[in-house]
Structures are given as structure tokens and as C-alpha cells.
Amino acid sequence: MVTPLPKLPLRKWIDLPPVWLAVFLGLAWVQATRLPVPLSGGALIDLLGGLMVGGGLVLMALAVIQMRQAGTTVIPHQRPDALVDSGVFARSRNPIYLGDALVLGGVILFWDAWPSLALVPLFVWLITDRFILPEEARLRDAFGARFDTYAKRVRRWI
């Protein structure tokens, strides 16, 4: 059963990872168009960027499907109803955020905006601070020792 999206205040709809991803992509686009720095490698770099974007999107889709199947929310700031620790979650505690970072890095490469690669660790830090740490606190509150065991077994990012 698919649960309907909860009603959240506007600021919580704005403070979501896809919005932050769009902001970082916008910054990279500005750099690519206003201060272009072509990178040699052409088709190979484009292929790598495409693989990163495709892999990131697949990773996100698999994670969303697993969370939906488990009956828990994919929306940050919400209390989880289940601890998903199998499938892609057995390799990364945050496969959706990892997918976001892959998409960001891949698009940056595809746009030949390689100086903007510096945005990727900044994005990872922001997502960790704004979303992952509070989510992990909610998971710890909801699932206690089960979450702690999972957190010891599976890395936060990769």
C-alpha cells in the first residue's frame, strides 16, 4: 500500500535534498556557462559522467522502491516506520543521498564544469549535516540497538 504524501509546512518542502541538489546543479551550470574550463577527454569524460548520472538514478530508484515496499517514508523530517537494512541499504545507509552525489558529480563532468567538482564534498557535508544526522537520530530513537548494530555494519555513504 502506498501512503499519501504528508502535509508539510512550506519551509520543509523547500528544505529537501532534491532542492539542494538543484541549487548545487545551478551553481555548476553557472560555472560551466560563465566561466567554462574545457577538460580534455571529451567522449570518455562524457561517458563517465553519464554512467555516474545513470548509476545515481538507478541507486535512488532501487532505494525508493525498497523503502516503499517496507512501508516507510522517503521524505526527510518524517519519523520512519521501518528500518530498511537489506538490498542497497546493506551497502550504504544513504543510497538516495549517494545517488544524489553521483548525479551531481556526473552532470558536472558532462558539462565540463570540472572546477565545480569542489561542490560535491560541500554537497555531501550539507546533506550529512541537514538530513542524515537528524534522520539517524530518529532511527536510533525508533529502533534503538537494532539501528546501532546496522550502523556499525554499514557505512554512512559507501
CA–CA distance from 152 to each of 7, 53, 96, 116, 157 (Å)? 34, 29, 19, 33, 13
Question: Given a cut of 80, is residue 3 above it in pLDDT?
Answer: no
pLDDT, tens digit, 9 for 90 and up, residues 28-75: 999 999 998 887 778 899 999 999 999 999 999 999 999 999 999 999
132 pLDDT band, cuts 50/70/90, is very high
158 pLDDT band, cuts 50/70/90, is confident
Calculate Rg over the CA atoms of the chain: 17
The contacts of residue 21 (CB under 8 Å, 6+ apart) are 100, 103, 104, 123
How many angstroms separate the CA atoms of 123 and 65, rounded? Answer: 24
1 pLDDT band, cuts 50/70/90, is low
pLDDT for the residue numbered 14: 79
pLDDT for the residue numbered 6: 58
